[in-house]
């Protein structure tokens, strides 16, 4: 299963639209995961229409209309992998331990908020591992050198290779 991870799109506040490379990735993906901070419900409708499947949550900058349609934390089983999608996980220091306690029944936690790509592994309290991924932002790089998003493969209960994609600012 080919999965696209995006977050912090901030359309139309920080960008008028998603970059063409991201729309191409949407078209190629079996599942699109969006970890919040949409800013406008229009992009949600466009992604729902264009995605084979969308798993998404709202972010701290999303208003009542988006919060009415999306959960704070979304859950899905994708390719036998238990996935949770949330926007905020708190400070980087202690993130793995905090997330492992908050999501003990999950294999993969996708999050956003910082606009900084993140890829780490936490040990779960009852054994096993929790993979934490933040794709950054394809539209608002903040202090990062490039705009970013991620793709990965999920299947047979395993998380395959994760690729961080970069787009130079225009």
- Is the pLDDT at 64 greater than 80? The verdict is yes
When divided into structural domains, the chain yields a total of 1
- Is the pLDDT at 169 greater than 80? The verdict is no
Give the domain range for residue 76: 2-167
Each residue's pLDDT tens digit, 123-158:
998 889 999 999 999 999 888 999 999 999 999 999
Mean pLDDT, the chain, whole residue set: 96
- Rounded distance, CA 70 to CA 85, Å? 11
Phi (first) and psi of residue 54, to 5 degrees: -125, 130
Q: What is the DSSP letter of 105?
A: T
- Rounded distance, CA 150 to CA 117, Å? 9
- Is the pLDDT at 97 greater than 90? The verdict is yes
The upper half-sphere exposure of residue 144, i.e. CA atoms within 13 Å in the direction of its Cβ, equals 22
DSSP, collapsed to helix, strand or coil, labels residue 148 as strand
- Is the pLDDT at 170 greater than 80? The verdict is no
Q: What is the CATH number of the domain that holds 136?
A: 3.60.21.10
Q: What is the DSSP letter of 126?
A: T
Which of 3, 2, 15 has its CA nearest to residue 137?
15
- Kindly provide the b/e burial profile for residues 107-123, where b requires at least 16 CB atoms within 10 angstroms of the residue's own CB: bbbbbbbbbbbbeeebe
Across the chain, how many H-helices and E-strands are there? 4, 10
Q: Are 54 and 60 in contact (CB under 8 A)?
A: no
Place of tokens 């990735």: 25
Which of 154, 108, 153 has its CA nearest to residue 133?
108
pLDDT of residue 151: 98
Indicate the pTM of the whole model.
0.96
The upper half-sphere exposure of residue 78, i.e. CA atoms within 13 Å in the direction of its Cβ, equals 30
């Amino acid at each position: 299963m080919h999965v696209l991870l995006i977050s912090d799109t901030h359309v139309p506040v920080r960008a008028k639209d998603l970059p063409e490379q991201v729309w191409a990735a949407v078209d190629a993906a079996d599942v699109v995961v969006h970890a919040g901070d949409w800013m406008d419900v229009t992009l949600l409708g466009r992604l729902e229409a264009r995605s084979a499947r969308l798993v998404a949550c709202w972010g701290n900058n999303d208003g009542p209309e988006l919060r009415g349609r999306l959960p704070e934390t979304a859950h899905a089983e994708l390719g036998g992998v238990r996935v949770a999608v949330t926007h905020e996980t708190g400070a980087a220091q202690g993130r793995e331990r905090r997330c492992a306690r908050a999501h003990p029944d999950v294999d993969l936690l996708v999050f956003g908020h910082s606009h900084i790509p993140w890829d780490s592994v936490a040990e779960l309290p009852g054994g096993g591992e929790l993979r934490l991924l933040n794709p950054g932002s394809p539209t608002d790089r903040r202090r990062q050198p490039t705009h970013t998003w991620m793709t990965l493969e999920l299947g047979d209960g395993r998380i395959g290779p994760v690729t961080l994609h970069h787009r130079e600012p225009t």
